[in-house]
Structure 1
Amino acid sequence: MRVNRNVWIFCFFLNICLLISPVFVQAFDLRLGTGPPGSFSYFSGRVLCRMMNNQLADLSCRQVAAADGHDAYNLTNLQGGSLDLVLVDSRSLFDAINKTGKFAFLDIDYSNLRGLAPVYETPVVMVVRNDAGIQSLTDLQGKRINAGTPGSIQYQEMNRIMNAKEWTRDDFSLVGDLSPSQSNDDTKAFCFGTMQAMIYIGIHPDFSLRRLLKTCNGTLLNMDDNDIESLVHADPALWRIELPVDLYPTQTEKVVTFGTRSLLIASEDLDSETVYRIMDLLDKNGKYLKTAHRSLSLFSQEIARESALGLPLHSGAARYIAER
């Protein structure tokens, strides 16, 4: 009798503890794939995970950084279930879905991927010298330009612009193939006046670009051009991007250009309610994201809807947008 009574008392108090203790609620782990440490993708993933961990009590976001070639690595791991969310560039996502580019010979079905929202943009800007007499894209003809190292992103984007304008190398007095990664050969040539124009790809505002514009007599070229507009309309992975006047001290007017977007995507297996709450978190924390970095202010329901690239929106994201 005494033993049974003690057991009953122990069970009674154990039930009371279970009812009043909050620690028995286990957090749902989310694995977010990003680029390598030092990349803006890595920084953005850290901001997103911190926001989820601070504001969604039953979610635990863990960032998983990939090495170089991270888009293919992350998309494949998302497709296979090793990751729950991924930050991916729109160019890589488009190629993966359509089996083009570096995904042309990769026999993997990415049909289970779903879109959530855009996070930031990566503009392609044309930097020109103020003393070169370049006021528009048409003025580039006959000038000295750096096309970038063959195979590099700079090289690909310069070729994209030249193809859109139906230009060849013969339309310029000099076309260099200088790399930005080898002791900044391209910026040195620009500062010395050897090159009068060059492609710069990065996240804005960019400290290195600000220094280049200030110390080397440079400015950003407005590419508000019919041929560039046609290029953007013909390529689902590209968007028109406007850089505001106050982005750099040397800029006196807004700059129209183009570029890609970094998109937050998930597997269709991620439950709808979790995605809905993540969308709500992004929507309500615009000020926090912009404080973390000015470029992290892209989210809106309209932009999220148009950024899918033919990829279906996740059911949780579609429901959130439909209700707003």
Structure 2
Amino acid sequence: MSDNLISERVDRRTLLRGAAAAGVIGIAGCADDDGNGDDGTGNGDDDGTGNGDDGTDDDNGDDNGNGGQTDVIRWHAGGTGGTYFPLSGEFEGIIEDNTDYPVEVSSTGASVENVGSLGNGDADFAMIQNDIAYFARNGEGLEAFEGDPIENLRGVATLYPETIHVLLNPDAGVESLSDLEGMRVNTGDLGSGTQVNALQILESAAGLTTDDFDEQNTDFTQAANQLRDGDVDAAFVVGGWPVGAVEEIATTTDVQILNMSDEERQAARDDASWFADDTIPAGTYGGIDEDVNTVSVQAMIATREEFSADTVEAVTEAIFENLDRLSIKTDFITADSAQDGMSIELHEGADRYFN
């Protein structure tokens, strides 16, 4: 890195700290693509410490080693059929226009895969679900993380609800979650956040385990194709509405979305604190003419502990000072709500901006 660029970033850091002092207070388990297609399979095998030994913060919090930072910020999103990927593309434009950092957005399997990539240093920022963040940081909840926490996982901001869509083949005659007993159900990619959410909801709200139905596992786009072709009776999709894969199938196929009962939603909330009541408004998807009651988790931005605090602060400031440039989830993403549901420790750089 050139001396001029270092000098520019030091000057920028000084300005950022002044802005943070003005005080903007605002900032997470599960899905989508999570808003998008949380079909990740990350294995969480990293010891969680990252490779930032040569980039440790000094006493004043400056990351002189830059946390192993490369010339390009590596931002891991999710599947192209969900919300994470297009929203990350909008973040990319904002960051590049308002900081000195170029950004490379990658399509991934979303939450589970992404926390593994942050853990081993392959990603700098990533979109994940707040329940998956909690599982990963604490080494529980998913086989990928059991006894192997991603210790360097840190939060940046929560963004919007990740809504649980239970798509139905109208010919299956499903009116409740318990009706899925004995049916073919796509619960999302194996090991994904979507699968975790689906199995939690089926067990807590209907008493169903994988012994009680024919479980299928694919990503959102393939699940939609299975539903269209009559190969499954139901498919779980987790993402911020409108989810691209659901929009697409709704334009070509007669599809229903399960309207969860109050009792089913209560059971899901009682079983897992990260679930919250949610509603998909009528008209969100073609053929869905009435509000659909369901539950949701939260989408969030995460990073890794050893990554430069100055860069994280600059990226966070760029996003939340330019929210007017977003066209996706604009009713939900705000600085004031950006710490709501944050399920893991906040990164130093994000803390500087919000607090």
TM-score by length of 2: 0.62
Q: Is the 8 A contact 1:145 1:198 kept in 2?
A: no
1:230–1:313 distance in 2 versus 1, CA, 3 Å: farther
Percent identity between the two aligned chains: 16
Is 1:263 the counterpart of 2:304? The answer is no
SS at match of 1:287: helix
State the shift of 1:236 in Å: 4.6
Distance 1:284 1:251, change over 3 A: farther
Query: 1:225 matched to which residue of 2?
Result: 262
Distance in 1 between residues matched to 2:196 and 2:302, nearest whole Å? 25
Q: Higher helix proportion, which one?
A: 1
Q: Partner of 2:135: helix, strand, or coil? A: helix
Aligned equivalents of 2:338 and 2:205: distance in 1? 30
Change (3 A) 1:318 1:156: closer
2:157 equivalent in structure 1 = 117
Alignment-derived partner of residue 184 in structure 2: 146
Q: CA deviation at 1:120?
A: 4.8
Partner of 2:126: helix, strand, or coil? strand
Following TM superposition, by how much is the alpha carbon of 1:125 offset from its aligned partner in structure 2, in angstroms?
A: 0.9
Q: Is the 8 A contact 2:127 2:301 kept in 1?
A: yes
Following superposition, the deviation at residue 269 of structure 1 comes to 4.5
Paired AA for residue 235 in structure 1: A
Q: 1:167 aligns with which of 203, 207, 214?
A: 207
Matching residue of 2:168: 128
Partner Cα separation in structure 2 for residue 239 and residue 66 of structure 1: 27
**1:147 maps to amino acid:** V
Instruction: Name the SS of the counterpart of 1:305 in structure 2.
Output: coil
1:177-225 CA distance string (max 9 Å, x none) = 44554893343227xxx83x44334553245423533544322222252
- Name the counterpart of 2:37: none
Shift of the alpha carbon at 1:169?
7.2
Secondary structure, aligned partner of 1:249: coil
Structure 2 distance, partners of 1:320, 1:170, is 44
Q: Is the 8 A contact 1:118 1:303 kept in 2?
A: yes
> How many residues were matched structurally?
281
Structure 1 residue 94, shift from structure 2 partner: 1.7
Higher relative contact order (CA 8 A, sep 6+): 2
Shift of 1:55: 1.9
Distance 1:158 1:279, change over 3 A: closer
Equivalent residue for 2:103?
62
Secondary structure of the structure 1 residue equivalent to 2:338:
helix
2:73 aligned with 1:31: yes
Q: 1:251 to 1:301 in 2, by over 3 A?
A: same
Could you tell me how far 1:63 is from its partner in structure 2?
2.1
1:200 equivalenced with 2:237 (yes/no)? yes
Return closer, same or farther for 1:89/1:270 CA change in 2, 3 Å cut-off: same
Structure 2 equivalent of residue 313 of structure 1 = 346
Note the residue ranges of structure 2 that are not aligned, 5 or more in a row: 10-70
Deviation at 1:34, TM superposition (A): 0.1
CA distance in 1, matches of 2:150, 2:251: 48
Q: Distance in 1 between matches of 2:200 and 2:273?
A: 14
CA contact (8 A) 1:282 1:299 kept: no
CA distance in structure 2 between the partners assigned to 1:312 and 1:167 by the alignment:
34
**Structure 2 match to 1:49:** 92
What is the alpha-carbon distance in structure 1 between the residues aligned to residue 79 and residue 206 of structure 2?
39
- For residue 51 of structure 1, report the CA deviation from its aligned partner: 0.8
- List per-residue Cα deviations over 1:16-69 (Å, max 9, x = no partner): xxxxxxx9455655623304774654443332222111123xx21322637656
Amino acid across the alignment from 1:279: T
Aligned to 2:283: 246
Among residues 270, 283, 289, which one is paired with 2:326 in the alignment?
Answer: 289
Is the Cα–Cα contact under 8 Å of residues 164 and 237 in structure 2 kept in the other structure? yes
Q: Which position in structure 2 is the counterpart of 1:86?
A: 126
| C-alpha distance in 1 between matches for 2:150 and 2:215 | 37
Question: Which residue of 2 is the match for residue 8 of structure 1?
Answer: none
What is the TM-score when the length of structure 1 is the normalising length? 0.67
Residues 50-101 of structure 1: CA deviation (Å, up to 9, x unaligned):
2111123xx21322637656324322134xxx65433333343222111121
Larger Rg, first or second structure (1 or 2): 1
Quote the Cα distance in structure 2 between the aligned partners of 1:38 and 1:295: 16
- Relative to structure 1, the CA distance from residue 284 to residue 252 in structure 2 (aligned partners, 3 Å threshold; closer, same or farther) is farther
- CA distance in 1 between counterparts of 2:252 and 2:78 reads 30
Listed as ranges, the gaps of 5+ residues in structure 1 are: 1-22
